[in-house]
Structure 1
Amino acid sequence: MSPTNWSTGPNSTTPSWTFDRHAVLFGAATHDIGKVLHPEELSRPGSEHEQAGHDLLIARGVTEELTRFARNHASWNDPSISTDDLLVSVADKVWKGKRVTDLEQLLIERLSEADHQRPWEAFVALDDVLDHIAQDAERRLAFQAEHPVVPGAG
């Protein structure tokens, strides 16, 4: 899989960060797939869906390189977690409108180190993007709540 560079625009002075676009998009789309086996976790906290999602994807022939996101998306404090994993973890939180300082700081440290820039520069570039994504969270969550999967939920 080829890496992708991300920046805020073609004329931007913001640095570009390299990541595996295909893997991150796959991870963002499938990280909660285990909730099909644990639908109660759609409306309340739980972590059984993480390993279940990984196993479900493996059973269907998806590579470990891609299935890891289902298992790792809540394990962002693990030192072995990659920058791609952190991107999926941040996406999981920001989609819901949650800004998790410790998680974002880990990502900022990785991005600033990879691009040889000061952490505040990475923060400035990332913060605007995350704010933009988070601003529509209330609408997304309301839509989700209108369509409960678990009987009696919502």
Structure 2
Amino acid sequence: MTTTDALSIATDDCLGPQLRPLPTKVAELLQRLDAPPRLVAHLRAVHDVAVQLVDWVEAQYPAREFDREAVLFGAATHDIGKTLYVDELSGPGSEHEQAGRELLLAHGVDAELARFAGTHSSWGTPGVGIEDLLVSLADKIWKNKRVSGLEDLVVAELAHASGRAAWEEFMNLDEILTRIGDGAEERLAYQMSYPVRY
């Protein structure tokens, strides 16, 4: 494969699930970084799920203000550090988190947006906002992984915004996560159809 393949994976119609293309700025950065094909496919799948989540939050909680574009950028770049730690694409590891943040900063990305590379796995850290929680949630639910502690934090944010009981908001969130999670097998197959390395 060549570096143009990263751009193609990020923006062209994909074989399999209908996934929204990555933002052009992100796709071009992934191409410059010679990002591994599987990473680009993963970022596209998580970004698509993030779009579904933010659309749902905007429709269900119109008074809840949050930075939609930050969530989508965060979802599209959260694992970008795996361009440096490629082995973490197929195995455990967290070296990519800080490396991703630093990589984004080095490429002129504002710290407010670069933070998602570091916060997507640390949703319990003080000061984490709804945007960080939604990026983390998208990174789990794309493969239909349910994480109760993360979901509890999202439910608390939603209950605060709506004034309704947490159990009501859990039921509401559970419905959308179940619906999005139903497409996980197709997204996983799409991601796995790309090699880890060129």
Q: TM class, shorter-chain normalised? A: 0.7 to 0.9
Give the counterpart of 1:41 among 78, 88, 107: 88
Q: In structure 2, how many angstroms separate the alpha carbons of the residues matched to 1:24 and 1:50? A: 16
2:151 to 77, 101, 104: 104
Aligned length: 142
Superposed displacement of residue 34, structure 1:
0.8
Matched, 1:77 2:129: no
What RMSD, in angstroms, separates the aligned Cα atoms of the two structures?
A: 1.7
**Percent identity of the aligned residues?**
54
Unpaired runs of 5+ residues, structure 2, are 1-54
Q: Which runs of 5+ in 1 are unaligned?
A: 9-14
Q: Which residue of 2 aligns with 1:24?
A: 71
For 1:114-140, what per-residue CA distance to the aligned partner results, in whole angstroms no more than 9, with x for missing partners?
332211222222222211211111111
Q: Aligned partners of 1:46, 1:96: CA distance in 2, in Å?
A: 18
AA in 2 matched with 1:67 = A
Cα shift readout 1:14-55 (whole Å, capped 9, x = no counterpart): x43332100001111110111111111111111111011101
Offset, 1:144:
1.7
TM-score of the aligned structures, taking structure 2 as reference length? 0.67
1:148: how far off? 2.2
Q: Distance in 2 between matches of 1:90 and 1:31?
A: 12
Superposed, which structure 2 residues align to 1:3-152 within 5 Å? 6-8=58-60, 15-16=61-62, 17-150=64-197
Cα distance in structure 1, aligned partners of 2:95 and 2:139:
16
* Higher-helix-fraction structure: 2
